[in-house]
């Protein structure tokens, strides 16, 4: 369905448009009317609009087990969807997103087909989820679930927020804490849930110290307020704030909301607005909505408005070229065509050279990865070897208890490699961004050269292309639950072992164990190296094809404008005046759109 262009733009009236979306629809309607030369611009608008539509705000709910994280999400949804219990429960990170219907999708680590459910009601959905996300029904994630997505038509979610329910930290499943820490950089903000029973613990303080550097925006919730009277609430909150400042190292204004998720959920279920306010969640929700509108949405809208403006500037330039070309004598137009053709040939040669330099940088970055993998291998061997030696030293006769050792290694591996995965990804993110930056600049210069050459030939103003976003390393989401190989294949002692002197026996056992640990290290490092290499290559591939496409589009747009004008001159000499008038009108409308884009409201008019 085509959306109509706002009247004031049709009529050329200035005015303040409310929504960026509306402006983009308007620009699309205009390019449609201009004809097939502008199909690539239309596609670019569509792509930006999809991004605007799909961009999601990742809001993680973090905290120690049993603080009420899942109950809080249920209260915000207004239905008991996520399983909650009095024992440590949520074992798999669960993404809750907006959808037309209620349902879920469960993905698995081995790539087998995802299980899906379209639920009739919250009870059915909750029972389905319990089978996969709870420690009770899916102990130690024996079903190999990698991620669970829940879809819900709640108004809050359709605003573009994805709530992420995380496994509680500090439970007996230690690698859950590492996994949670590693996915933090991908969260746009987090809600940290604590409560008075017991008061904030050492584990929470340590966790918060780590979170502080990884998540830019944190909002604190002090849950289960219904257990406390007013005086106790004040005391508990004061204590919580002191710990946040003095132990966890936070400073400045600390947004702490005292809430009762249980009461909030009851209020939503019974439709009691007063009780919802009393639960403290009303005020918290208001704060959150404000924060969302002012934070990410504003940044995203501004970025999209900038890009839209850039496309509009390109369109205007094409229109100017066409207008000029339609007015030039045919012989001059031919000269311009040839000069531009020569310039484009030159830019093409330079872009091939730039491609070779980029390939060199890709190779150097892969070599750097190999070096990193080597360091990690050494580090992991030392760490696990240390555990092995500790066991040997602590056991009678220096012969390690192989079962106990296997358990210790199995516990240490996910912890070590989850942390290293996070470290390695962060190092690579930085490195790849640094390496690609000059290439990006060079590509932009080449695009600028084409535009400048056309502008000079046709004596029209030159519009520099807007700088693109910083290109970043592609990667899989951290919340994918990794399966780190961690079991030692114990070699049973040979009969002759028993006959050997103790020292020889000990040395034989230790050697076998060392070989086993090395094999495990190699296997895990190889997994990590392989995954990072795939991401690295994918990033460079996408960067190269993206830049080539940009150059191709700029070339095609400039040449296309001249070619279209040339053909019109040849075939429709009698209607030239009408054509020029039409193009000038279009030019004026795009100028209007450009002006409106400059004042696009940051909140996209969602209020």
Ligand X SMILES: Nc1nc2c(ncn2[C@@H]2O[C@H](COP(=O)(O)OP(=O)(O)OP(=O)(O)O)[C@@H](O)[C@H]2O)c(=O)[nH]1
**Residues engaged in binding ligand X (CB under 6 A):** 63, 65-71, 84-86, 88-90, 168, 223-224, 226-227, 260-262
Does residue 486 bind Mg ion (CB under 5 A)?
no
Does residue 70 bind Mg ion (CB under 5 A)?
yes
Residue 65 CA to residue 170 CA, distance in Å, equals 7
Does residue 90 bind Mg ion (CB under 5 A)?
yes
Q: How far is the CB of 173 from Mg ion (least distance, A)?
A: 13
Q: How far is the CB of 177 from ligand X (least distance, A)?
A: 11
Phi, psi for 584 (deg, rounded to 5): -65, -40
**Between 84 and 301, whose beta carbon lies closer to ligand X?**
84
**Between 260 and 558, whose beta carbon lies closer to Mg ion?**
260
- Cα dihedral 172→177→179→184 (10° resolution): 160
Does residue 171 bind Mg ion (CB under 5 A)?
no
Residue 466, SS3 per DSSP: coil
Q: What spatial distance separates the first Cα and last Cα of the chain, rounded to whole Å?
A: 24
Phi, psi for 197 (deg, rounded to 5): -120, 95
Residue nearest to ligand X (CB): 168
Q: How far is the CB of 90 from Mg ion (least distance, A)?
A: 3
Indicate which of ligand X, Mg ion, none lies near residue 86 (CB less than 5 to 8 Å, by partner kind).
ligand X
Exposure string (b/e) for 56-79, b if CB count within 10 Å is 16 or more? Answer: ebbbbbbbbbbbbbbbbbbbbbbb
**Between 194 and 318, whose beta carbon lies closer to ligand X?**
194
Within 245-284, which residues bind Mg ion (CB under 5 A)? none
Cβ-based neighbours of 127, under 8 Å, separated by 6 or more: none
Q: How far is the CB of 169 from Mg ion (least distance, A)?
A: 11
Q: How far is the CB of 89 from Mg ion (least distance, A)?
A: 5
Indicate which of ligand X, Mg ion, none lies near residue 138 (CB less than 5 to 8 Å, by partner kind).
none
Q: How far is the CB of 38 from Mg ion (least distance, A)?
A: 51
**Between 177 and 440, whose beta carbon lies closer to Mg ion?**
177
| Candidate segments 2-10, 86-94, 188-196, 495-503, binder of Mg ion by CB under 5 A | 86-94
**Between 176 and 301, whose beta carbon lies closer to Mg ion?**
176
Question: Whose CA is closest to 96, among 127, 52, 121, 126?
Answer: 126
Q: How far is the CB of 125 from ligand X (least distance, A)?
A: 16
Phi, psi for 442 (deg, rounded to 5): -65, -45
Rounded to the nearest 5 degrees, what angle is found at the Cα of 544, between the Cα atoms of 539 and 545?
Answer: 100
Tokens coding 522: 């190699």
**Between 78 and 88, whose beta carbon lies closer to ligand X?**
88
User: What interhelical angle do 576-598 and 502-571 show, nearest 10?
Assistant: 140
Indicate which of ligand X, Mg ion, none lies near residue 227 (CB less than 5 to 8 Å, by partner kind).
ligand X
**Between 90 and 516, whose beta carbon lies closer to Mg ion?**
90
180 close to 167: Cβ distance less than 8 angstroms: yes
Q: How far is the CB of 73 from Mg ion (least distance, A)?
A: 8
Indicate which of ligand X, Mg ion, none lies near residue 205 (CB less than 5 to 8 Å, by partner kind).
none
Q: How far is the CB of 205 from ligand X (least distance, A)?
A: 17
E strand residue ranges, 153-293:
161-165, 189-195, 218-223, 256-258
Cβ-based neighbours of 394, under 8 Å, separated by 6 or more: none
Residue 2 CA to residue 116 CA, distance in Å, equals 34
Indicate which of Mg ion, ligand X, none lies near residue 24 (CB less than 5 to 8 Å, by partner kind).
none
Q: How far is the CB of 500 from Mg ion (least distance, A)?
A: 53
**Between 90 and 223, whose beta carbon lies closer to Mg ion?**
90
Cis before residue 273, ω within 30 degrees of 0? no
**Binding residues for Mg ion, how many (CB under 5 A)?**
4
Indicate which of ligand X, Mg ion, none lies near residue 226 (CB less than 5 to 8 Å, by partner kind).
ligand X
**Between 68 and 422, whose beta carbon lies closer to ligand X?**
68
**Between 86 and 573, whose beta carbon lies closer to ligand X?**
86
Residue 467 CA to residue 354 CA, distance in Å, equals 18
Indicate which of ligand X, Mg ion, none lies near residue 539 (CB less than 5 to 8 Å, by partner kind).
none
| Candidate segments 61-69, 221-229, 349-357, 359-367, binder of Mg ion by CB under 5 A | 61-69
> What is the residue-wise DSSP string for 267-321?
HHHHT-HHHHHHTTHHHHHHHHHHHHHHTHHHHHHHHHHHHHHHHHHHHHHHHHH
Binding site for Mg ion (CB under 5 A): 69-70, 89-90
């Amino acid at each position: 369905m085509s959306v109509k262009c706002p009247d004031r733009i049709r009529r050329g009236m200035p005015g303040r448009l409310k929504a960026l979306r509306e402006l983009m629809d308007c620009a699309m309607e205009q390019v449609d009317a201009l004809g097939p030369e502008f199909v690539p611009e239309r596609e670019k608008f569509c792509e930006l609009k999809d991004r605007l539509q799909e961009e999601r705000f990742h809001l993680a709910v973090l905290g120690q087990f049993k603080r009420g994280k899942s109950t809080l999400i249920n209260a915000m949804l207004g239905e008991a969807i996520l399983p909650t219990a009095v024992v440590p429960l949520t074992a798999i990170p669960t993404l809750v997103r907006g959808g037309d219907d209620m349902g879920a999708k469960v993905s698995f680590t081995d790539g087998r087909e995802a299980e899906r459910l379209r639920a009739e009601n919250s009870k059915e959905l909750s029972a389905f989820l319990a089978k996969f996300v709870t420690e009770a029904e899916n102990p130690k994630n024996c079903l190999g679930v990698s991620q669970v997505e829940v879809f819900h038509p709640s108004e809050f979610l359709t605003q573009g927020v994805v709530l992420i329910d995380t496994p509680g930290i500090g439970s007996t499943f230690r690698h859950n804490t590492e996994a949670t820490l590693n996915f933090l950089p991908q969260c746009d903000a987090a809600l940290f849930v604590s409560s008075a029973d017991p008061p904030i613990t050492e584990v929470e303080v340590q966790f918060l110290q780590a979170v502080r550097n990884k998540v830019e925006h944190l909002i604190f919730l002090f849950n289960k307020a219904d257990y406390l009277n007013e005086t106790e609430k004040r005391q508990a909150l004061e204590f919580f704030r002191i710990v946040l400042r003095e132990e966890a190292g936070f400073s400045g204004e600390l947004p702490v909301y005292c809430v009762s998720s249980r009461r909030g959920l009851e209020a939503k279920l019974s439709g009691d607005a007063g009780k919802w306010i009393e639960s403290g969640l009303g005020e918290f929700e208001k704060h959150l909505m404000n924060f969302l509108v002012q934070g990410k949405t504003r940044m995203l809208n501004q970025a999209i408005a900038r890009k839209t403006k850039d496309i509009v500037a390109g369109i205007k330039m094409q229109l100017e070229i066409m207008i000029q070309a339609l007015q030039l004598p045919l012989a001059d137009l031919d000269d311009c065509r040839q000069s531009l053709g020569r310039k484009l040939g030159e830019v093409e040669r330079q872009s091939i050279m730039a491609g070779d330099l980029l390939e060199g940088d890709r190779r150097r970055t892969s070599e750097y990865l190999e070096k990193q993998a080597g360091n990690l291998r050494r580090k992991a061997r030392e760490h696990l070897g240390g555990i092995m030696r500790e066991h040997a030293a602590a056991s009678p006769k220096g012969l390690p208890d192989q079962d106990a050792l296997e358990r210790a290694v199995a516990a240490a591996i996910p912890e070590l490699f989850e942390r290293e995965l996070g470290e390695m990804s962060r190092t690579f993110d930085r490195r790849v961004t640094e390496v690609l930056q000059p290439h990006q600049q060079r590509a932009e210069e080449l695009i600028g050269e084409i535009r400048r050459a056309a502008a000079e030939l046709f004596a029209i103003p030159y519009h520099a292309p807007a700088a693109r976003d910083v290109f970043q390393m592609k990667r899989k989401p951290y919340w994918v639950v990794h399966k780190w190989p961690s079991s030692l294949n114990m070699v049973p002692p040979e009969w002759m072992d028993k006959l050997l002197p103790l020292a020889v026996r000990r040395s034989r056992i230790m050697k076998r164990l060392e070989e086993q640990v090395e094999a495990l290290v190699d296997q895990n490092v190889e997994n990590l190296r392989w995954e990072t290499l795939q991401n690295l290559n994918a990033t460079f591939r996408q960067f190269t094809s993206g830049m080539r496409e940009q150059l191709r589009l700029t070339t095609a747009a400039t040449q296309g404008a001249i070619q279209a004008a040339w053909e019109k001159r040849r075939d429709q000499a009698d209607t030239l005046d009408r054509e020029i008038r039409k193009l000038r009108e279009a030019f004026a409308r795009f100028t209007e759109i450009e002006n409106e884009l400059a004042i696009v409201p940051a909140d996209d008019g969602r209020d």
